[in-house]
């Protein structure tokens, strides 16, 4: 498996993971393999072939996370960098700027960050869990805000390998992404100060169970930041799609804002507030050279972009903050 610092597992023990550490190590060893994903060796080789240079500048506190400057690379190293980065297509969460090479990801993840960063509790000194973190883009933004320790988890190996592309140059042992899911860590009461669940709730068959699992990850008075699809209250309390929603599989239910607030109350969260409701636009989610597959524009009604191609209300996303 890719080497994780021993300090990571020491930190996890302090956060309440003692019983799961052995299982997590085994799961990581299993997932970092060609048996788990046929492209693993290709991705591993691509990281090993990245130009061996030290970035003259790293800036995590900007829309396009910056690693290095163009002048850090020789003329011959730039095409090598681009070739290796392209091995990790599709890049979905970002953007990143690596030695002047701008990775224009499918999602402008910085827009989501800008919507929430002023309303959440300051992250300075906090220990943070980002569930379903993808490439780790938001993990780096959390670290830039002063988080003491950030753990991201995501079972999709490609996204974890994209994180390791960045970590290859940033080398910050206080930020880690593991190729595991929430089911691999629940079972004990954990002690994170802040837990982020963004873009997950509607993929869970049992939404209330997910909320309870999130609560188990938080210390008392810890803060949940939950971002999810919602429907406008005028469309009812809950949308249960038949088949796909905007071509996404496994969208089990999409609540209204008021319904989700009630769910959070039932899950015994407190100080619940919805801080943002925004439609997803073609400028925020779209195909690019770094994610050349179909995207949002292909999933909406060609004659009415207020509806998905299945006839449901177009994606509307809300951000909620609550405390354990």
In a structure prediction context, what are the per-residue pLDDT tens digits for the chain, which is 324 residues long?
A: 577 988 999 999 999 999 999 999 999 999 999 999 999 999 999 999 999 999 999 999 999 999 999 999 999 999 999 999 999 999 999 999 999 999 999 999 999 999 999 999 999 999 999 999 999 999 999 999 999 999 999 999 999 999 999 999 999 999 999 999 999 998 889 999 999 999 999 999 999 999 999 999 999 999 999 999 999 987 679 999 999 999 999 999 999 999 999 999 999 999 999 999 999 999 999 999 999 999 999 999 999 999 999 999 999 999 999 999
The residue to which tokens 């919507």 are assigned: 115
Residue 48 and residue 165: Cα distance in Å, rounded?
Answer: 9
Per the structure block, which two tokens stand in for 212? 């309870």
Q: Calculate the alpha carbon distances from 157 to 34, 40, 179, 181 in Å.
A: 11, 8, 6, 11
CATH superfamily of the 6-323 domain: Vaccinia Virus protein VP39 (3.40.50.150)
Q: Which residues pair with 226 in a beta bridge?
A: 197, 320
Per the structure block, which two tokens stand in for 178? 């593991």
Residue 308 and residue 305: Cα distance in Å, rounded?
Answer: 7
Strands 58-59 and 65-67: antiparallel
Per the structure block, which two tokens stand in for 311? 């006839």
Q: Which residues pair with 194 in a beta bridge?
A: 128, 223
Tell me, yes or no, if the pTM score tops 0.95.
yes
pLDDT at position 1 is 55
Contacts of 292 (CB under 8 A, 6+ apart): 89, 90
Q: Which residues pair with 291 in a beta bridge?
A: 288
CA 153 to chain CA centroid, Å, is 8
Give the phi and the psi of residue 234 in degrees, each rounded to 5: -70, -20
CB–CB of 319/197 below 8 Å?
no
pLDDT at position 241 is 96
Per the structure block, which two tokens stand in for 188? 């004990």
Taking alpha carbons only, the member of 113, 173, 156 closest to residue 137 is 113
């Amino acid at each position: 498996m890719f080497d994780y610092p021993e300090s990571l597992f020491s930190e996890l023990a302090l956060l309440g993971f003692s019983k799961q550490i052995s299982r997590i190590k085994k799961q990581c060893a299993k997932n970092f393999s060609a048996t788990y994903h046929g492209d693993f060796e290709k991705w591993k080789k691509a990281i090993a072939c990245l130009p061996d240079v030290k970035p003259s500048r790293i800036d995590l506190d900007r829309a396009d996370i910056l690693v290095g400057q163009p002048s850090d690379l020789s003329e011959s190293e730039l095409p090598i960098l681009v070739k290796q980065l392209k091995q990790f297509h599709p890049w979905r969460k970002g953007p990143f700027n690596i030695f002047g090479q701008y990775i224009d990801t499918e999602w402008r993840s910085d827009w989501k960050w800008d919507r929430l960063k002023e309303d959440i509790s300051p992250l300075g000194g906090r220990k943070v869990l980002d569930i379903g973190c993808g490439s780790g883009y938001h993990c780096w933004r959390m670290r830039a805000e002063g988080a003491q320790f950030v753990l991201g988890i995501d079972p999709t190996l490609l996204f974890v390998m994209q994180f390791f592309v960045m970590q290859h140059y940033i080398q910050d042992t206080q930020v880690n992404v593991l190729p595991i899911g929430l089911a691999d860590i629940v079972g004990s009461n954990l002690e994170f100060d802040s837990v982020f669940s963004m873009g997950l709730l509607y993929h869970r068959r049992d939404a209330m169970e997910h909320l309870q699992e999130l609560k188990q990850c938080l210390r008392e008075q810890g803060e949940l930041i939950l971002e999810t699809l919602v429907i406008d209250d005028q469309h009812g309390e809950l949308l249960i799609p038949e088949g796909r929603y905007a071509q996404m599989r496994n969208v089990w239910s999409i609540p209204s804002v008021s319904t989700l607030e009630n769910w959070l109350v039932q899950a015994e969260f407190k100080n619940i507030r919805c801080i943002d409701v925004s439609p997803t636009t073609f400028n925020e989610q779209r195909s690019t050279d770094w994610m050349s597959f179909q995207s949002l524009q292909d999933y909406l009604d060609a004659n009415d972009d207020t509806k998905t191609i299945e006839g449901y209300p177009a994606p509307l996303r809300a951000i909620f903050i609550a405390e354990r």
